[in-house]
Structure 1
Amino acid sequence: MALTALRWREDRLELLDQRLLPAQSRWLTCHSADDVAGAIRDMAVRGAPAIGISAAYGVVLAARALGAAATAATLTPALDTLAASRPTAVNLFWALARMQRIAATQQGATLIQALTNEALAIHDEDRRMNHRLAAFGLPLLPEGGRIYTHCNTGALATGGHGTALGVLRSAWTAGRIRGVIAGETRPWMQGSRLTSWELMQEGVPVTLVTDNSAGHLMQRGEVQAVIVGADRITANGDTANKIGTYGLAVLARHHGIPFYVAAPLSTIDPALPDGSSIVIEERDASEVRQIQGTPIAPAEVPVQNPAFDVTPAALITAIITEHGVIHAPDTANMAAYLANIEGRDVDDAGVNP
């Protein structure tokens, strides 16, 4: 059975609790929008695409609870709760906007069914998008190379195959790369707990390294490319991703190594001109003072814990989406890319713009 992070069961949403992996596989059952928002906020489910899909199902649960009283107005509190769960991942707001558009036209039982259909469509589209994105990204990776990745962007972070990790999985299957280097990705250790585990499930050779090893490995010629995901991409190509990504991009540029961002079109937020407009989530200090509840620092030491950083577009070799590749992203190239695909059906994304 394919690895998955979430399962819809008609009257409930089941989420694989990623806080416990790889030691334990436990499914959380969400019966309400509040349950889903809590799971997103507490990182039981994570990854921008998976967050968006989960939020869509959260709206369905809210509508089911309202029954005949389900309308755009009565769903507003649930939508607001879900929107407040994580501020940086644009996929969350993209999915909620889709659900809001459905709610604006119907009510009651008809609305519940329409919202269910839309959430299922969002989930299915993400699965298919992952494979199209991987097909565009695969030929960019150096043949026979070892590729460095950060955080987790695989099946656990999406509706299926993965974004950056999906490219790597496809590249390994095609015999294009010889292995993956996964940074541990503090403080939640998504690289060590999730990415290494996912790749091992697939039989992809993976080496886990501490985050501060990246420069050393690049200096020694052990990294041929870097590929990461994204939680938000602005109109000029600046990219917000898990904290530590910016440092990797700087190192890659210094060592002449290509740096790729792989993310669905829904991650691009053309309303934001550049990365300075992105809201960066600041998380609880306990995540840095502890590892899975075990203290590793003085209990009262002041902590800064930004969940994301912004990589300037000038450091990004290319952005890969399900519609193709944006080389040397900047405001002009991003605008041309978006204009090229405007109005195209997502299933027609077989030609690189």
Structure 2
Amino acid sequence: MFGRVLFTTFLFYTFISIGQLAYSQSCGETLNIARESFNAGHLYEIPSILKPCLDNGFNKDQRIEAYWLLTRTYLFIDDPISAEDSYLKLLKQDPEYIIDPERDPIDVVYLSRKFKTTPIFVLYAKIGSNLSTVDVIHNYGVDNTSTSAEKYKGKLGFQFGAGGEINANDNISLGLELNFFQRNYTYSNILFNSDNQTFQENRTGIDIPLFLKYRWDFVKIRPYVYAGVGLNYLLSAKGTVKLIDRVGSDEEDLTEIPVTGPEVDLKPIRKKINKFAHFGAGVNYRFGYNYLVVDLRYTAGLSNIITEDEQYSNSALLYKYGFVDDDKRLNNFSFSVGFVKPLYKARKIKKASVKGFFSRIF
């Protein structure tokens, strides 16, 4: 019984597939007939020839060609409204359709200039790695800071996030992102000419960058540059500190006493919100109607990340390790890859009653 049902189902879908294939081939022949009618100058019959398969039958490529043929037909018979309607339907099928002024008829070139295909909004997601650097504003310590041997070194971290852009025109857009980050740096110093001190800070937080972007269009490849400002919000800051205390009177025969302990919570002595400026460059690579993106960015801290009033408040840092935070800004280099989704909306350009940014977009 089960085998009979299975066999019947197989036959049913086989017949459907054969019927669809035959209908597709029939619509392919319909498109050939429409082409021949256009070349022969029998223009008025073309819309009725194409209508059944446009309603149900053409695949996407056939539909694009059919609307292209209808556009040219309506322009020839002096029906500009129907020509515009056909060209708009073509753009809805292929928002990235490109007119070649040297190849395409001049009347279609002029018609294409009445339409806008640039996506109003663009959404994307990115993930990548980063390297932090430190700018010292003012040096602090428990010994003579004028002879300090302190050194800062960046360590790799990571970030991921998402963002969106609103396009003013084909080249300029305004963007906003929300990114989660994990950033690290290390510090080393020599206290009292002999004690080795090391410190590593691991920070997590959220960046909210705002930027203005300019891009170039080379069809498949679209490079861009951008610059802007933003805020970041600190979620956590942990410090790992180690001190090698060298004890003795003879410099060649010192006893080394390592001083270690658990991670120190640095958040109470860190500012929760910090300002930054950033600029970067990247390239979008088109596949289909979406893009892969590679992005390089430099973020420059604009504010001291230390809460000055709490600088000496952590007794473990101060008395156990002899560590006092410098006033400092945190900078960052980042590399990201991601996926870009343009939200296309082909539309006819209308004369804006109010000049400005939003009227140019909408």
Task: Normalising by structure 1, report the TM-score.
Answer: 0.19
User: Which has the higher relative contact order, 1 or 2, with Cα contacts under 8 A spaced 6 or more apart?
Assistant: 2
Give the TM-score normalised by the residue count of structure 2. 0.19
| Bigger proportion of residues as helix | 1
Structure (1/2) with the larger strand percentage: 2
Say which one has the larger Rg.
2
